[in-house]
């Protein structure tokens, strides 16, 4: 392919952005970084991060029959910070990732709870996105970008997350738990690269891992720091289904990056940040919901088969790409 032509694996919806603050039934600053799921009746539910004009975020559900338009937005916050009972939510709750866990007959929402301690990972369980049972902080600060795998692995629940240390960058880890409350067996599963790489120094899980016959497909974001600010882009990696700490393949180049004006301009420029997806009835069509420049919500589609095919052609075992 000549010049700047690249395989377009992730295709933006022509009507983007599909959700903006202007559609909200109450005054807000911005809406972005939404978790997503398809409810049993086929409705697409987005659990949106809503930033108020205080800077504090809460979560608000938006429902649509076709996942594109006709959004019915809750008339008030669906899950608001509750710092009286959960002090870790003092400065708000952000960036939810939703996992349907059949064994629990509940959705498990992993979100960032933000307070004086820094951002940490909290869990809440729900069946209807109207009432929630909070489990509190499961990964203390600084940690975020977490999602639960939908089933136990070797008898334990698995949480992918992104702790930050002062030691050379922020990498993706996995931890295991018998009960969603007590976590251990921590493993680093994907490290940020170094130097000029697009995913140098800081990476994190984007939406929840996608289960495929070939492994857990992980869309992850890389944060490139430049003189003009940060650039958030997306890459792909594949992990073993039964030993998810084993990385099978990792792509070198990014596959999605801010290009459109609504991704390049906003409260935080140059950010594409998917926190959720739904899968079409064919089991292959991915509807990816992503925050654009921390200001609005976009939709893009991809084929899981094409993503896997790209990884087969462009990916390497991770040990080879660690440079
Ligand atoms: C990350 C998260 C996201 C946000 C992004 C860009 O650290 O906090 O919520 O979209 O920064 O500001």
145: Cβ below 6 Å to ligand 1? no
Atom 4 in ligand 1: which residue has the minimum CA distance? 294
Instruction: Count other C-beta atoms under 10 Å from residue 142's C-beta.
Output: 16
* Of 75 and 3, more confident: 75
Residue pLDDT, tens place only, 252-295: 999 999 999 999 999 999 999 999 999 999 999 999 999 999 99
Write out the two tokens for 219: 């869309």
DSSP code at position 314: H
Given a cut of 90, whether residue 1 has pLDDT beyond it is no
pLDDT digits (tens, 9 = 90+) for 53-70: 999 999 999 999 999 999
Alpha carbon of 244 to ligand 1 centroid (Å)? 25
- Band (pLDDT 50/70/90 cuts) for residue 40 is very high
- Looking at the CA of residue 145, tell me the nearest atom of ligand 1: 2
- CB contact set of 314 (below 8 Å; sequence gap of 6+): 251, 252, 253
Residue ID of nearest Cα to ligand 1 atom 12: 268
The Cα 211–Cα 110 span in angstroms is 18
Residue nearest to atom 9 of ligand 1 (CA): 95
Cα 148-152-158 angle, rounded to 5 deg: 35
Task: List, edge to edge, every strand of the sheet that includes 184-190.
Answer: 143-148, 157-163, 172-177, 184-190
Question: What is the Cα–Cα distance from 289 to 65, expressed in whole angstroms?
Answer: 15
CA of 119 to the centre of ligand 1 (A): 11
Q: How far apart are CA 307 and CA 11, in angstroms?
A: 12
Q: Which residue in the block uniquely carries the two structure tokens 């400065």?
A: 91
Which ligand 1 atom minimizes the distance to the CA of 232?
A: 6
Domains of the chain and CATH, by start: 20-318 (2.115.10.20)
Mean pLDDT of 195-210: 97
Cβ of 268 below 6 Å from ligand 1: yes
Dist CA 127 CA 106 (whole Å): 5
Average pLDDT of span 116-139: 98
Contacting residues for 210 by C-beta, under 8 A, at least 6 apart = 216, 217, 218, 219, 277, 279, 286, 304
**Which residue from 304, 318, 297, 314 is spatially nearest to 245, judged by alpha carbons?**
318
Answer yes or no: is the C-beta of 273 below 6 A from any ligand 1 atom: yes
Residue 320: per-residue pLDDT:
41
The pLDDT score that the predictor gives to residue 264 is: 98
289 secondary structure, DSSP code: E
- Whole-number Å distance between alpha carbons of 123 and 143: 13
pLDDT at 2: 64
């Amino acid at each position: 392919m000549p010049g700047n032509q690249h395989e377009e694996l992730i295709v933006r919806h022509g009507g983007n952005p599909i959700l903006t603050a202007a559609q909200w039934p109450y005054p807000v600053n911005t809406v972005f970084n939404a978790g997503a799921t398809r409810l049993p009746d086929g409705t697409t539910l987005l659990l949106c991060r809503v930033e108020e004009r205080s800077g504090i975020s809460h979560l608000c559900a938006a429902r649509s029959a076709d996942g594109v338009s006709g959004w019915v937005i809750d008339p008030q916050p669906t899950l608001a910070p509750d710092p009286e009972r959960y002090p870790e939510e003092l400065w708000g709750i952000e960036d939810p990732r939703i996992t349907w866990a059949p064994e629990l007959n509940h959705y498990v929402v992993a979100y960032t709870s933000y307070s004086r301690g820094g951002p940490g990972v909290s869990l809440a369980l729900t069946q209807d996105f109207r009432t929630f049972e909070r489990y509190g902080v499961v990964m203390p600060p600084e940690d975020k970008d977490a999602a639960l795998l939908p089933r136990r692995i070797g008898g334990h629940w698995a949480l992918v997350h992104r702790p930050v240390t002062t030691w050379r960058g922020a990498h993706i880890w996995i931890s295991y738990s018998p009960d969603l409350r007590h976590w251990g067996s921590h493993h680093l599963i994907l490290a940020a690269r170094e130097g000029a790489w697009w995913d140098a120094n800081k990476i994190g899980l984007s939406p929840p891992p996608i289960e495929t016959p070939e492994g857990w497909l992980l869309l992850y974001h890389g944060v490139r720091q430049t003189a003009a600010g940060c650039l958030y882009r997306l890459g792909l990696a594949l992990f073993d289904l039964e030993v998810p700490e084993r990385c099978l393949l990792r792509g070198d180049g990014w596959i999605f990056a801010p290009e459109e004006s609504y991704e390049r301009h906003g409260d935080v420029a140059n950010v594409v940040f998917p926190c959720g997806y739904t899968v079409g009835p064919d089991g292959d069509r991915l509807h990816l919901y992503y925050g654009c420049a921390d200001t609005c919500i976009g939709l893009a589609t991809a084929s899981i088969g094409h993503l896997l095919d790209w990884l087969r052609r462009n990916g390497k075992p991770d040990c080879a790409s660690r440079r």
